[in-house]
Amino acid sequence: MTKADKFTTVRIAFAPIFLIIYTIPEWIPSTRFITGCILLPLLCFAEFTDFLDGFFARKTNSVSDFGKIYDPFADVVLHLSSFFCYVHTGYMSFIILILLFYRETGMLFLRMVAAKKGVAVGARKGGKLKTVLYIATSFLCLAIETMDRLGIATESIAPACSVIIMVMSIICVSLSYISFVDYLITLKPLVFSKK
């Protein structure tokens, strides 16, 4: 496993840790403030590992077919875990999460089929843009939740934030499916070939 892959592994490991810390106050109410101090830095570091794995893969010339599959898989695990948390606390719609889950599992299936035929599918521009929007939406939800846990009043901005999050969530779904169709068209000759 390369240094880049180790950073990718950190991102996967942080996904369940984030989920657990996010939900701790449900059974230990006195931890709301503490978890509010931890969650944002934790997610920042987890997302930063996405930059680090790419940086070290290029710097050490260790870009691999495995990494091209492993990196987006780690992104999916982290993003869907965080989105589950936001659905759980009412920031995001369950329907949005399910639609994103369908898209991401469909994309992973395409990558597996391509990998079986000897082709590692790297990220395309549409997929990268989708990921950026996932991250922005995630941080907005977490920022509001963090303020709430730290005792900062959010009542005045809550209605506007709810609308913004809903709009961003819909754009996330739209972009994710547009990029999926782009991947599907690109991979169609390979995935649906009889060989």
Q: What's the rounded mean pLDDT across residues 37-58?
A: 91
Residue 37 has pLDDT above 60, yes or no: yes
Find tokens 């997302």 and name the residue: 47
Which tens digits make up the pLDDT trace of 107-130?
988 888 887 777 777 777 888 899
For residues 153 and 118, what is the distance between their CA atoms, to the nearest angstrom?
54
Q: What's the rounded mean pLDDT across residues 30-42?
A: 95
What number of other Cβ atoms are within 10 A of residue 43's Cβ? Answer: 20
190 and 73 Cβ atoms separated by less than 8 Å: no
Q: What's the rounded mean pLDDT across residues 87-112?
A: 93
Residue 98 has pLDDT above 80, yes or no: yes
Q: What is the pLDDT of residue 188?
A: 77
pTM, full prediction: 0.91
